[in-house]
Chain A
Amino acid sequence: MGFLEGKNAVLFFIGLYIVVVAAIAATGNVFVASAVGVFGSLFLYVIVAVLMRTQVTKDFYVAGRTIGSIPIGSSIASNWMSGASFVSMAGAIAVLGYDSMPYITGWTLGYCIAAFMIAPFIRRSETFTVPEFVETRAANWSVARVIAVLMLFIVSFTYLVAQLVATGVIIGRFLGMPAVLGAFLGSAIVILFAGTGGWRSVVWVQVTQYWILITAYWIAFLTAAYVAGIFKPWPHFGYGELLTQLEGREISFGLTAFTEPFTKTFGGGTGEINWILSALCLMLGTVGLPHVLSQFYLVKDVKTARYGVGWGLTFIALLYLTAPVYAILARSAFSSAWGMPIDQVKQLAWIQKWLPTGLVKITDLNGDGILQPAEMAFHKDIVVVGMPDMFGLPWFIAMIVAVGGLAAALSTANGLLMVMTVGATRDIYKRFINPEVTERREVWVGRAMLIVLAIISGFAGARALMDPTFSRYVALLVGWAFVFATASFTPIIIMGIFWKGLNKYGIVAGMIAGMATALPYVLGVGLFGVSPIIFGGHKIGTLAWGIVAFFVNLIVAAIVSLATKAEKANPPETIEFVEKLKIPE
């Protein structure tokens, strides 16, 4: 093979892809170029996956534990940033203003906790999965593993369904294909990525996807920022005047200013206490999510784990620091239409294009023929997908955005599917059904599990696209995943590393107590409309409540461990396991 191997081959195919798409684009055939651009990117990922194929279980489960810090950083970032981060986050900020900022701080600063208290130790444990880590720490008590596997499946499955929905919507929107078909196509593609080489393929596909998604996000952002004139000297610092103008317009229409803090509902609660606790819950939840933790197994050594998380957060920040500016650009584009005659607004090119999709709605509520802010409703997805049109950018920017959104949705879907596959193979099949399985057979069982899981989630994704009620439950569950992770995994993983006295009774009691605290509140407030607890005049929403459940878990785990002879209840091999975590290899 020679030249066409490993990194060279990947770079060669990326170059080929860009040249081909650019050549077709130059002929001016918009539809063909878009189709080749979108499908070509999928083909590119499959090539990367095939180049990294393997038959070795260690490669399949943990990419051979060989990944360096910058590749793992890119992979952590694309694994983390979902289709929703790419497509909807800027839109959510454009709608909620300052009150949506817990998304920005909450979905980033959790990685600090990961770097200081979790990632290096998870890597050092040399286990293969989070449930395996929990079981080993709980003195090989299978009950702990079963609970952990269950949690892993509930969280990862709902998350994966949400990704397939996003994939379907993006493919549908840009290629005029039915979204349901797009969701199935998404799950079929993911089988190809993951089936070839397990984590070894997925991690390199994710690296490729990261650079594609971030380039796409930034190209659209920088061109819009240039048109809006906020390069003073750089968009992230130059939007002051634009923001002042926007807020002036908002106030003159009787709205609260965009950056006015604590005026809207977030996570079912209100006020500053809710804001701070919600952000903390997102941070603590991040590091308890199985698909986030699983990345820490793939790195070369403990030192790489520490730097890798740093790169991971840096790469995440490239998008998360940009989304708030994106939101201001979009909101300022919307607000420029306020006060205009409605007939004239409907003549605007981007309104004309997006009105039929239903992402923008204009209704003259008071019948005066003038557009009031309340008379223009927009779906949060339009901020990113509609931005190229709002600022009159060339058509290929819209295609680049589609390719990026697809990369974001698929990269997260890959990771989730791998976590579930490894969970089903290693934590269920090998642990409980056939511990004597040969290595070769184990990889094939893994591939079979992968296909079954992908097909089931493909159907669930299609169902979510067709049935709004089902779709609503999926969205709710994705939001709650952070509460459940904060309430169950995060406290016992941190305590399990730092306190030898934590024993198996404490672990299981803590997880159960945490979930028992979180679940009734989340269901009551989030689903059945029970009014939330009010603390100091601030409504405590479901996310903020996660912090209460976190401490309940921590305290119950400590008390139960102490009541059951703490350290003395741990067999020597568990003590040895904890001792091993402390010292790098």
Chain B
Amino acid sequence: MVVEKEETEVYRRYWNRLKKITAIWMLAWTIPAIFLEIPANALKHIKILNGIPLHWFMAAFVSIVLGITLIFLYAYVMEKTDREILGR
């Protein structure tokens, strides 16, 4: 009975941590999904790499690479959390 109680306590802690991580990562996701694109009208005047307008490069390159990075970071952090709290 005592063991079971400890286990639910561990699970509760794990779930709370997971919810926090999910919230942080979903907030971070709004950067490539929304916030890099909103200033398009201002960024279009900035040219990088010999003439690529920055607003175009944000949508065509930066946002997606950022998205990939976020997923791998999430997988890594969750793997660590699994080990730390659940011991697996």
**Chain A interface (Cβ < 8 Å from any Cβ of B):** 98, 101, 104-105, 108-109, 111-113, 115-117, 120, 232, 236-241, 243-244, 259-262, 272, 275-276, 279-280, 283, 303, 306-307, 309-310, 313-314, 317, 320-321, 324-325, 498, 579, 582-584
Q: Closest 9 interchain pairs by CB? A: A240-B50, A240-B51, A244-B51, A306-B75, A310-B71, A101-B59, A324-B60, A259-B56, A115-B71
Question: Which B residues have a C-beta under 8 Å from some C-beta of A?
Answer: 11, 14-15, 18-19, 22, 25-26, 29, 32-34, 37-38, 40-41, 44, 47-53, 55-56, 59-61, 63-65, 67-68, 70-72, 74-75, 78-79, 82, 86, 88
With A116-B22, A582-B11, A583-B11: A109-B40 Cβ-Cβ less than 8 Å: no
Selected from A117, A259, A262, A303, the residue in CB contact (under 8 A) with B26 is: A117
Q: A116: which of B25, B47, B48, B88 is its contact (CB, 8 Å)? A: B25
Docked-complex contact B49 and A240, CB < 8 angstroms:
yes
Considering the chains assembled together, what is the distance between the CA atoms of A262 and B37 in angstroms?
Answer: 12
Among candidates B14, B38, B65, residue contacting A582 with C-beta atoms closer than 8 Å: B14
Given contacts A241-B51, A280-B34, contact A307 B88 (CB under 8 A): no
- Contact call A303/B79, Cβ cutoff below 8 A: yes
Contact between A240 and B22, CB atoms less than 8 A apart = no
When chains A and B are docked, how far (Å) is the Cα of A261 from the Cα of B56?
A: 9
A314 engages B68 (CB within 8 Å): yes
Residue of A nearest to B28 (CB): A112
Given contacts A104-B59, A303-B79, A310-B72, contact A261 B40 (CB under 8 A): yes
Secondary structure call for the B interface: helix
CB distance from A410 to the nearest CB of B (A): 25
Query: Known interface pairs A98-B56, A259-B44, A272-B40. Does A317 touch B65 (Cβ–Cβ under 8 Å)?
Result: yes
- Is B52's CB under 8 angstroms from A321's CB? no
Chain B residues, Cβ within 8 Å of A244: 50-51
Residues in A whose Cβ lies below 8 Å from that of B32? 105, 109, 112
**A321 touching B60 in the complex, CB below 8 Å, given contacts A117-B26, A303-B82, A584-B88:** yes
Residues in B neighbouring A280, C-beta threshold 8 A: 33-34
| Residues in chain B near residue A324, CB distance under 8 A | 56, 60-61
Given A240-B50, A276-B37, A306-B78: A109 in contact with B25 (beta carbons within 8 A)? no
6 further contact pairs, Cβ within 8 A, besides A101-B59, A317-B64, A582-B15: A104-B59, A109-B32, A117-B26, A244-B51, A307-B75, A324-B56
When C-beta atoms are compared, the residue in chain A nearest to B52 turns out to be A240
Partner of A236, one of B19, B61, B72, B79: B61
Q: How far is the CA of A108 from the CA of B88 in the complex (A)?
A: 31
Residues in B with CB closer than 8 Å to A113 are 26, 29
- A104-B59, A306-B74, A582-B14 known; A116+B26 contact, CB < 8 A: yes
Q: With A313-B71, A324-B60, A584-B88 in contact, is A240–B47 under 8 Å at CB?
A: yes
Query: Which chain A positions have C-beta within 8 A of B67?
Result: 108-109, 111-112, 313
Assess the A261–B51 pair: CB atoms within 8 A.
Answer: no
B85 to chain A, nearest CB (A): 10
